[in-house]
Every structure is written in structure tokens, then in C-alpha cells.
Amino acid sequence: MDLPVMPPVKPMLAKSVKRIPPGMQYEAKWDGFRAIVHRDGDEVVIGSRTGKPLTRYFPELVTAVRDHLPPRCVVDGEIVVAHEGRLDFDRLSERIHPADSRVRLLAERTPASLVAFDLLALGDDSLMGMRQSERRTVLEAALAASGPPVHLAPATTDPEVAREWFERYEGAGLDGVVAKPLDLPYRPDTRAMYKIKHERTADVVVAGYRFHKSGPVVGSLLLGLYDDAGVLQHVGVCAAFPMKRRAELVTELEPLVTDAADHPWGAWADAEAHEHSRMPGAPSRWSGKKDMTWVAVRPERVCEVAYDHMEGDRFRHTAQFRRWRPDRTPSSCTYAQLEEVVRYDLAAVLSG
């Protein structure tokens, strides 16, 4: 491979803001695996956000890149998997598997797509110093003849359209809106763009915690909601606390610490138990040798957290602690309080 921009490349990133800023290029925020795709003839390298190769996990996309991208190019985009008309991150995550036979089986059952939204190089030219608006024009021309499973990400400079996308596209599993300054050159591994994500709140049960990697202070609180059968399901964690607050939480929760055997998630170490109920410590290809042990506390305290959206029956991302809710009973913390998003067909998003 001999391209003007060589792998690995870490992608340009976005910082969170509360509102859609004016005077920019706007795109939907895709919920998948960020990927930098290098193609030089038949040679294809798909790199992750951290620069590690993803190529072996998506053999169908290697073929698609050869069929639909220019012969020599570097494209920034997102790998996604669709299911029943919306993005499905869980099915996408299944593709990161050590067994090649499993990867190829899933490539047939749940094929991935590539959504392209930036162009870093074309032919013998690097475009990284070019303005965002100019790179977009070149990208549109370069992908004019492409087709599924390679898609050109819809983009607009109209903030009203961006606000409409922000509300409507969530029903297809998208994550918000990204705003890109029109004169922005491509800046790898720098938060030079802006992301606007949905934020909602929920009252959840605190049922345990994990220690922080730095020592005996709280690293994350383990959160639960009761399902229709009255079973406490693990829905995620909240973790962003100042170090002083982490130490205070250990003291606050100490009276509630209990033996895990007496806890609703007491069977967490049994792999089979995770097939019937959501509990912390589930086996995961992502966790590797990470210590998944946790401290059980009686599920008696309720806190309010902010979250962006759900992935099935759990928070898609780490939730943000807002406040304790002494006025709420744990039994009242159910899935019924969560807002249900109106569904929207992903095909309508990809059609622009």
C-alpha cells in the first residue's frame, strides 16, 4: 500500500455541546464503529478509532470497498449493522470475535454497512489540509456511483434541517447530530467538531459499585431498574465523579454493603445466569482479563441519572449522576418511566 495518507490514522473527534451551533455542516451522529478505510487497488485496511485494524472482522466490507470506493482513497466513516429498520449496536459488537468461522457466518447473517462522511485522500493527493466544505464536495463526487452497503452520509448546512434530523432520526437508532465548521481542515485525534446528543433522566436503583483503578474509592455505581416481573435488571453504570466524591461514596454506601449471596444479582459469576437476567460482570469479548468483581449493596437507594438513549434494555453509554432521590422508593424505579422513541426507518435516513 502506497497512499498519500497511510495507516494508522486516528479520526477527528467531536466535543459535546448542548445546542446545535449555527453556520456549520450538519450530519447525523451514527451509532457504530468509527473507521478509517484505506484502499489502494485490491489492498484494503480498515482501522478503528484507536488505530487498531478491524479488517478481519468485516470481510463483506472489504469486498464492498473494492466495488464502491475509488481505486486509491482514504475514507472516514462509520461501520453499522441494521436490524428491523434501525441500527443495532449489539449485533455489530458480535462481529468482534476471535474465530474466523464465526465472523464469516455473521457477515452473512448480519452484514455490515459503511457510512462515509469524510475524505482524507484521493488518488495521489492528501485532502487533510482542505476545508471541510471542499472535502465534502470531493467526497460527494467520489461516491456518486457507489451503492449499498456503502452509503454517503446525508449532510446539510441548514440548522432547521439538522434540528429535524435530531428529533426524527433517533427512532432509527441514531445518536444525535454532529456539527462541523465549514473551514475546518482534518485534524486527527483532536476534538475539533461538535456533537449534540439526546439527554434524558431516569430514577434508578443503586445496587452496587466497582472500585476505581487508582485504589479503594468508587469507580462506578451499578444501576438497576425493575422489570414487569419485579426482577431487578442491571441497566448500566454512572462513573464520572471527582476523586474526593469517589471516597465520600464509599463512606455513604458502607451501611448498605451486603453479602453478594443475598443480593438480587448474587448469581452474577454464573455465566448461565446471565442468559435469564441482566447482571453486572457478564462475560464479554471487550472485558478480556479485566477484573469484573463488584461490591454488592442492598438495593435501597435511588438516584437520578442522565442518559442519552437505550440499547434494548440497558443504557447505551455511561450514565451521568445528577442527584440522590430520597423521595423515591426502589420499587418505583421501573422501565415504565423511560420515554419510548417513535420509530423511524433507517432506509429513509440512508436515502438522504
Catalytic residues, which ones?
Answer: 29
Q: Are the C-beta atoms of 172 and 154 separated by less than 8 Å?
A: no
Task: Determine the distance from the C-alpha atom of residue 185 to the mean position of all C-alpha atoms in its chain, rounded to a whole number.
Answer: 25
For residues 219 and 239, give the distance between their C-alpha atoms in angstroms, rounded to a whole number.
6
| 191-196 vs 13-16, strand pairing mode | parallel
Three-state SS at 19: coil
Q: What does the block give as the cell for 213? A: 483503578
Q: What does the block give as the cell for 254? A: 458502607
Task: Determine the distance from the C-alpha atom of residue 179 to the mean position of all C-alpha atoms in its chain, rounded to a whole number.
Answer: 17
Contacts of 143 (CB under 8 A, 6+ apart): 68, 69, 116, 150, 152
For residue 22, cis peptide bond before it (omega within 30 degrees of 0): no
For residues 92 and 79, give the distance between their C-alpha atoms in angstroms, rounded to a whole number.
8
